[in-house]
Amino acid sequence: MSEQPRRNFTSDNVTGAAPEMLAALAAANVGQAPGYGNDAYSKRLTERAREVFECDLAILPVTTGTAANALALSLLAPPYGAIYCHETAHVMTDECGAPEFYSGGAKLLCLAGAGGKLVPADIEASMALIASMGVHHVQPSAVTLSQATEWGTVYSLDELDAIASSARALKLAVHMDGARFANALVRLGCTPAEATWKRGIDVLSLGATKNGALAAEAVVLFKPALEGELAFRRKRSGHLWSKMRFQSAQLLAYFEGDLWIRHARTANALAERLAAGLVAAGGTLVAKVEANELFIVLPDAQIAALRADGYEFYDWPAPRGTTGSVIRLVTAYDMVAADVEALVSAASRHATR
């Protein structure tokens, strides 16, 4: 686009849409189509998602990740229920109470855990205590985990197995917030099926917006019997598009030719490169860089100098036990190596010796 390397590393949502997305909208725009998901694109989307995930499922597009998460959780917890989440989970801190709104007041129970990951033993200990409280305590009915996590790490398949098997024993459903699911998938190097329902995930919030769409997320139900209820809840919350073909077309384009995987591969690789460069320039990573986000401690002077150069990124609250100023940097599907190299060079220039 421009000759200038990009300086905005605040988030992957500052990106526009991939050209494939605009082309898909234009193609879907031809002619008339029944509203509310009764169009050919929406039907094809279900078929396509079944192929991609190799199982029976229902997939219902919505506009935002917040909507996807809140709708998903409202299926899994009654109003007097509770949902375990990590204390840094997006549902806990960044959705203005959407899960409470959609569920009719269910409670999110926060747990700690290194690298943004839930620990099965913590869930079990909490459940044991709550079981002793009977009718006085909200009833845990689900676990939600972010994959990739809010600290840019990725649960391994074994870690997912451990959580899901613990959850199953405790009769808890498992939801995955996959706002950056494609980035996690690339890291894991496995199939979508292996990363989800084969691990015991019941419902997935599948993100596409951060990874190339205009505005397309989806709730993927690996228990398709939940579809009827979800359809009513989606309509009731105002998330059923009348011209649904424009959402389905985006998600079809997302899967087409593995666009989602190619995009995520680019972003992940750039994040690794950036991390290595910044560590070399004196930074200390706060968490492993396994997707497209990095959290790193840099000297305040270096941070200020980068900002003076025009670089944009967020300060981030330090995790327990970390000292120094933490910043978050996010790479995106539409960046190129030169963008990252330029930032690394600048950081090296500003490194305190």
Residues in the chain: 353
Of 53 and 311, which CB lies nearer to a copy of itself in the complex structure? 311
Of 33 and 342, which CB lies nearer to a copy of itself in the complex structure? 33
Among 5, 20, 55, 78, binds a copy of itself (CB under 8 A): 78
Within 298-317, which residues bind a copy of itself (CB under 8 A)?
317
Among 79, 124, 284, 310, binds a copy of itself (CB under 8 A): 79
Within 193-222, which residues bind a copy of itself (CB under 8 A)?
209-210, 214-215
- The beta strand positions in 63-98, using DSSP E, are 81-86
Query: What does the per-residue mask of binding to a copy of itself show for 315-334, with x meaning CB under 8 A?
Result: --x-----------------
**In whole angstroms, what is the distance from residue 126 CA to residue 84 CA?**
9
Smallest separation, CB 58 to a copy of itself (Å): 13
**In whole angstroms, what is the distance from residue 290 CA to residue 80 CA?**
36
Within 41-70, which residues bind a copy of itself (CB under 8 A)?
62-68, 70
Instruction: Based on the shown chain and the rule CB under 8 A, indicate whether residue 32 belongs to the binding site for a copy of itself.
Output: yes
Smallest separation, CB 245 to a copy of itself (Å): 8
Query: What does the per-residue mask of binding to a copy of itself show for 117-136, with x meaning CB under 8 A?
Result: ------------x---x-xx
**In whole angstroms, what is the distance from residue 73 CA to residue 98 CA?**
10
Among 57, 73, 106, 172, binds a copy of itself (CB under 8 A): 106
Tokens of 149: 């996590």
Of 12 and 159, which CB lies nearer to a copy of itself in the complex structure? 12
Smallest separation, CB 149 to a copy of itself (Å): 18
Say whether 178 sits in a helix, a strand or coil. strand
Instruction: Based on the shown chain and the rule CB under 8 A, indicate whether residue 40 belongs to the binding site for a copy of itself.
Output: no
Smallest separation, CB 105 to a copy of itself (Å): 4
Among 112, 157, 190, 231, binds a copy of itself (CB under 8 A): 231
Among 86, 117, 199, 233, binds a copy of itself (CB under 8 A): 233
What region does 208 belong to: left with phi over 0, alpha with psi -120 to 50, or beta?
alpha
Among 40, 43, 51, 238, binds a copy of itself (CB under 8 A): 238
Tokens of 52: 């991609």
Nearest to 111 by CA among 133, 93, 88, 139: 88
Among 241, 254, 295, 313, binds a copy of itself (CB under 8 A): 241
Instruction: Based on the shown chain and the rule CB under 8 A, indicate whether residue 33 belongs to the binding site for a copy of itself.
Output: yes
Instruction: Based on the shown chain and the rule CB under 8 A, indicate whether residue 94 belongs to the binding site for a copy of itself.
Output: yes
Instruction: Based on the shown chain and the rule CB under 8 A, indicate whether residue 16 belongs to the binding site for a copy of itself.
Output: yes
Classify residue 348 by burial, with Cβ atoms within 10 Å: 0-12, 13-18, 19+. Answer: middle
Among 46, 112, 157, 237, binds a copy of itself (CB under 8 A): 237
Instruction: Give the number of residues in contact with a copy of itself, rule: CB under 8 A.
Output: 78
Nearest to 113 by CA among 138, 84, 141, 76: 84
Tokens of 236: 């009731």
Of 30 and 225, which CB lies nearer to a copy of itself in the complex structure? 30
Instruction: Based on the shown chain and the rule CB under 8 A, indicate whether residue 137 belongs to the binding site for a copy of itself.
Output: yes
CA–centroid distance for 174 within its chain? 15
Smallest separation, CB 113 to a copy of itself (Å): 17
Residue 108 near residue 83, CB atoms below 8 Å: yes
Distinct helix (H) and strand (E) counts, the chain: 14, 11
Cis peptide before 128 (omega within 30 of 0): no
- Long-range contacts formed by 200-203: CB under 8 A, 24+ apart: 200/160, 200/161, 200/163, 200/164, 200/165, 200/167, 200/168, 200/174, 201/160, 201/164, 201/174, 201/175, 201/176, 202/76, 202/173, 202/174, 202/175, 203/72, 203/75, 203/76, 203/173, 203/174, 203/175, 203/176
